[in-house]
């Protein structure tokens, strides 16, 4: 988000990053405290937005595959079908590289398990309770698989291997710049769009994870369990949301600085529990 307003700044001021992360964290927690229905509505709205954005990326990629040429493509750059000329060339890889690749794929698909945390709140027809979850699970994972595979085809079609490796966390932004040129809206607007897509993950994860914290508090595992297990008059887990906010804020405020630490945190999030993953995603 900050890079959208300062395109030339690769690493924006860390204090501003932390301030923005705390603001977003507070806004999401307050949303889930004061309105359960609004939290679900925002979650569904961002989910529709994310699917629409990925679908648009796929359409652009297949247009490039069919011969369409982007405005940001230079004469010497590889683009379109030419990027697939050596796609199947075998390259010797270490087990570490294979492991990191598998881990990255698993991380890309994470999130489906959050539905298990809110099953008690899902409306289901009496006598056929399991059918709703089965249909939703298989259809959602199936749709996600198709979209993600086709999105990767689009990325590989538009961007070269070198551009993908150098893209960091803003591959989608570089994708749009190469297709539509380096205009004001392209350079800034699409980065905001990518940030909103990530925001959808944060909103949905918070909704599910605070209910896990609430159930742990009900088992009296946590100190001050009675407070953290409380349900507000808005029918929301207010105590668990307060706990979630304090833990997340502590990670944001106390997180170390530097690109090396940032990369290590990205790696840690792939191994650590869901709470830590969601917390670090905000930074």
Tell me what pLDDT residue 36 has.
87
Per-residue pLDDT at 246: 92
d(CA 255, CA 249): 10
The pLDDT value recorded for residue 141 is 83
Report which of 246, 252, 260 is spatially closest to residue 18, judged by C-alpha positions.
Answer: 252
Q: Which residue has the tokens 């994708």?
A: 175
pLDDT on residue 9: 57
Q: Say how far apart CA 279 and CA 269 lie, in whole Å.
A: 9
The pLDDT value given to residue 5:
57
**pTM across the whole model:** 0.74
**CA proximity to 274, closest of 133, 39, 111:** 111
Task: Return the number of other C-beta atoms located less than 10 Å from residue 64's C-beta.
Answer: 23
Predicted local distance difference test score (pLDDT) of residue 168: 58
Domain that holds residue 251: 2-281
Tokens of 170: 């803003």
pLDDT value at residue 221: 86
Question: What domain count does the chain have?
Answer: 1
Calculate helix-pair angle for 95-109, 129-158, nearest 10 degrees: 130
Each of the 283 residues of the chain gets a pLDDT tens digit; together they read 555 556 555 566 677 778 888 999 999 999 999 988 898 899 889 989 989 989 998 998 888 887 776 665 655 566 677 777 766 666 677 888 788 878 877 877 777 777 777 777 777 777 676 777 778 778 888 888 899 889 988 888 888 777 777 755 577 777 877 777 777 777 777 778 878 888 888 888 888 889 889 888 988 888 888 898 888 888 889 999 999 999 989 888 887 644 434 444 444 433 333 333 333 333 3
């Amino acid at each position: 988000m900050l890079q959208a307003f300062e395109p030339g700044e690769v690493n924006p001021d860390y204090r501003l990053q932390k301030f923005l992360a705390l603001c977003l964290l507070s806004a999401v927690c307050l949303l889930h405290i004061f309105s359960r229905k609004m939290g679900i509505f925002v979650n569904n709205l961002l989910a529709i937005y994310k699917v629409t954005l990925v679908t648009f990326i796929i359409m652009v990629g297949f247009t490039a595959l069919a011969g369409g040429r982007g405005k940001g493509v230079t004469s010497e750059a590889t683009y379109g079908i030419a990027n697939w000329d050596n796609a199947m060339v075998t390259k010797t890889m270490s087990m570490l590289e294979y492991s990191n690749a598998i881990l990255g794929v698993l991380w890309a698909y994470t999130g489906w398990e959050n539905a298990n945390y809110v099953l008690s709140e899902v409306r289901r027809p009496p006598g056929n309770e399991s059918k709703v979850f089965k249909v939703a699970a298989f259809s959602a994972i199936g749709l996600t698989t198709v979209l993600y595979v086709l999105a990767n085809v689009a990325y590989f079609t538009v961007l070269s291997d070198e551009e993908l490796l150098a893209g960091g966390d803003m591959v989608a932004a570089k994708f749009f710049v190469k297709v539509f040129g380096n205009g004001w809206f392209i350079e800034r607007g699409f980065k905001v769009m990518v940030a909103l897509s990530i925001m959808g993950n944060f909103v949905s994860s918070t909704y599910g994870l605070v209910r896990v914290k609430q159930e742990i508090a009900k088992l009296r595992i946590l100190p001050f369990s009675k407070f953290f297990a409380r349900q507000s008059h808005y029918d929301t887990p207010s105590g668990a949301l307060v706990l979630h906010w304090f833990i997340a804020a502590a990670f944001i405020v106390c997180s170390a600085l530097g690109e090396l630490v940032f990369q290590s945190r990205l790696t840690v999030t792939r191994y650590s529990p869901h709470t830590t993953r969601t917390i670090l995603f905000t930074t």
